[in-house]
Structure 1
């Protein structure tokens, strides 16, 4: 207790140097834990884009490719699957629900997804969160559209606005479905998933805007009006992919094998978690880069604290000598400096953690809306080993000036230096 009291009194006499050391450690811990939390939450949000989906079904291709274009809207499908195949899958006894997805159109750079009302019922993200509406409601008219939060924010759309979809992803003027405009019927709340950058319409609407098109080209002379399209046969002929939920996950491999062996056409069923693991393995370089940044931040912070302690030690030669003169042993001086370093490290760790909690609470909604990143306020599992490493490095950093003071003689600090 006497050593602790002496350490606190010593720190109180050097307020400026102590404050600088605390600031250095706090900022290092803030950046270190911030990078780790962003990395962990980004990975969790990545996996949470298809929460609750047991199988993802599409045309025969690679698992990662299917996941990218069907869920993350990256790239294009090489082929579609017929509506009959989709119905056969939905009729399997092990299947509890299915949600069809029809991709291929866009609006001012945002993907259009044709689906059914079951999308709003069964789609989950994050920790089994349901979709919610910031305004409006799901589509109930043929030409109703539901837009994601990112679409609404960037294009300044509101419920009741009229939009025109474009054929394909180019958005060229001649490829627009201008004869069949859509009305925005709902705006989804932010989710931090690709849904935020999506425009959702019904499958019959997708068929309606393509009545006068064949193989991606408008038919010459064909002009079906929007009202005439309402009375046409709008039954889907093909879709891009389907989300499948099972009655029991124990049957996942059996259903997957049955779909892969489907005799009518080549299909592929993938487990989203497995495909996400493969995808994350491909982009693991970015994760490793974040870890390297974290290590460099820790090294820089601890080096700054060590430099400050050593610098202050040179100014405290006489203080150490006086302590030795009044009976303190070299071991006591060593312990004094190690305790000092330990207290600075603990205080800096607490300050850095509190700063991270404050910044997370203040910027959480902003990051979700503008960056699509869901930052959890609870500590990530990987933060505790990092805090342990910071504490260990802080204690070791105190050993350096402690050993230097231990090696110095009593006369070294009593000499008058000109």
Structure 2
């Protein structure tokens, strides 16, 4: 108890410098946890979505392009393929289901996606605000309903029950607008991807309004495919890509995302190293603060020695202060991380799918061990001085 009182009074004299070093270390801990959390959450979300479809089939193009647009709406829509090609894929005996996706229409500059309820299920999309009917959260009620992305709904204050019209192309004129309106069935939950800027309508309804508008070509941009047995995955891929009449590109989402994951992991490690370096610099700041006040603490040590304090007791006091700083910084870092998560969930909703990350905590453990070693230096100096006197 006496040592604690001495430590508290000694620490009051260096409150400003101590607060600065603790804050810097706490922020580095927060960065380590936030970067680890975002990386793991995005990776898990991508894996979950990719596992829902075995193949994404489209016109010959880069497979990464097919996967990124097909699952996350990133990039420009892939080149179109014929409706008859989709029917050939759907009729293949090894295919459990095939969902056509068309992205040739727009509404006020926002892409309109035509597909089936399978598309919503595959991308794990569902409505947070929808017309209360059984199954209306992720199933189209009829051919002329629509789900609007969260960003679209926010921009135009759309609510379920209102109607919208869509038009051919992305810079349409009055002659390109379809006459048949679509009823907004629901507003989709935010995903943090480009899908929040899209509008989803039933493929069959889209085909009908195209026909009513006099559009004879019935094309789609890609097809999501699920097989009955994944053992035939590569065989079907080869069949589709080596067709003599109209070769296609069949991309395997899991493989393409794994290729991208290699670069993503490198980038993540770079950020983790930067955060770790910031933490080490904060620890060095703490060490230099302690060293700068060492001359002042010599007087405290001499006074304590005069009243009978033993060397190990004085070393304990010297060790307790940096350890207290490190512990406080860890607690504050976790608190800052929790606060940051509240804002991250607004911008990147997928971070809410996991809790406190554990796979990357070795970085945090290494930082704590580094702090322990640095904390031992002034304690050892105090012990050495006391042993010599």
Q: What TM-score bracket applies, with the shorter chain setting the length?
A: 0.7 to 0.9
In 1, Cα distance between equivalents of 2:230 and 2:267? 32
- Answer yes or no: is the 8 Å Cα contact 1:113–1:199 preserved in 2: yes
Kindly report which structure 2 residues correspond to 1:230-269, keeping only aligned pairs within 5 A, or say none.
237-269=218-250
* CA drift at 1:145: 1.6
* SS at structure 1 position matched to 2:105: strand
Query: Structure 1 168/400 Cα, relative in aligned 2: closer, same or farther at 3 Å?
Result: farther
Partner of 1:180: 180
* CA drift at 1:332: 6.0
- Answer yes or no: is the 8 Å Cα contact 1:164–1:176 preserved in 2: no
- Answer yes or no: is the 8 Å Cα contact 1:98–1:244 preserved in 2: yes
Say whether residues 1:396 and 2:373 are aligned partners.
Answer: yes
Aligned length: 378
In 1, Cα distance between equivalents of 2:370 and 2:2? 23
Kindly report which structure 2 residues correspond to 1:84-123, keeping only aligned pairs within 5 A, or say none.
84-120=84-120, 122-123=121-122
Query: Structure 1 74/174 Cα, relative in aligned 2: closer, same or farther at 3 Å?
Result: farther
TM-score by length of 2: 0.82
Query: Structure 1 104/47 Cα, relative in aligned 2: closer, same or farther at 3 Å?
Result: farther
Unpaired stretches in structure 1, ≥5 consecutive residues: 213-222, 413-418
In 1, Cα distance between equivalents of 2:260 and 2:388? 65
* SS at structure 2 position matched to 1:29: helix
Kindly report which structure 2 residues correspond to 1:2-401, keeping only aligned pairs within 5 A, or say none.
8-13=4-9, 14-15=11-12, 17=15, 21-77=21-77, 79-120=79-120, 122-125=121-124, 131-136=126-131, 137=136, 138-169=139-170, 171-174=171-174, 176-211=176-211, 237-281=218-262, 286-325=267-306, 326=308, 328-329=310-311, 333-334=314-315, 336-360=317-341, 362-363=342-343, 365=345, 367=346, 370-376=347-353, 378-401=355-378
Query: Structure 1 49/93 Cα, relative in aligned 2: closer, same or farther at 3 Å?
Result: same
> Higher mean Cα deviation, 136-145 or 94-103?
136-145
Q: Deviations over 1:222-247 (max 9, x none)?
A: x66xxxx9xxxx9x833211111223
* CA drift at 1:69: 2.9
- Answer yes or no: is the 8 Å Cα contact 1:111–1:199 preserved in 2: yes
- Answer yes or no: is the 8 Å Cα contact 1:115–1:200 preserved in 2: yes
* SS at structure 2 position matched to 1:316: helix
- Answer yes or no: is the 8 Å Cα contact 1:124–1:131 preserved in 2: no
In 2, Cα distance between equivalents of 1:280 and 1:155? 36
> Higher mean Cα deviation, 40-49 or 179-188?
40-49
* SS at structure 2 position matched to 1:92: coil
- Answer yes or no: is the 8 Å Cα contact 2:127–2:147 preserved in 1: no
In 2, Cα distance between equivalents of 1:291 and 1:51? 28
* CA drift at 1:153: 1.5
* CA drift at 1:358: 4.6
Q: Deviations over 1:203-259 (max 9, x none)?
A: 2333344347xxxxxxxxxx66xxxx9xxxx9x833211111223333322332333
- Answer yes or no: is the 8 Å Cα contact 1:349–1:387 preserved in 2: no
* CA drift at 1:363: 3.6
In 2, Cα distance between equivalents of 1:309 and 1:334? 13
* CA drift at 1:385: 0.7
- Answer yes or no: is the 8 Å Cα contact 1:32–1:298 preserved in 2: no
In 2, Cα distance between equivalents of 1:152 and 1:25? 41
In 1, Cα distance between equivalents of 2:263 and 2:367? 30
* CA drift at 1:178: 4.9
Q: Per residue, is there more helix in 1 or in 2?
A: 2
Query: Structure 1 6/23 Cα, relative in aligned 2: closer, same or farther at 3 Å?
Result: farther
Query: Structure 1 104/69 Cα, relative in aligned 2: closer, same or farther at 3 Å?
Result: farther
TM-score by length of 1: 0.77
In 2, Cα distance between equivalents of 1:312 and 1:376? 46
- Answer yes or no: is the 8 Å Cα contact 2:165–2:178 preserved in 1: yes
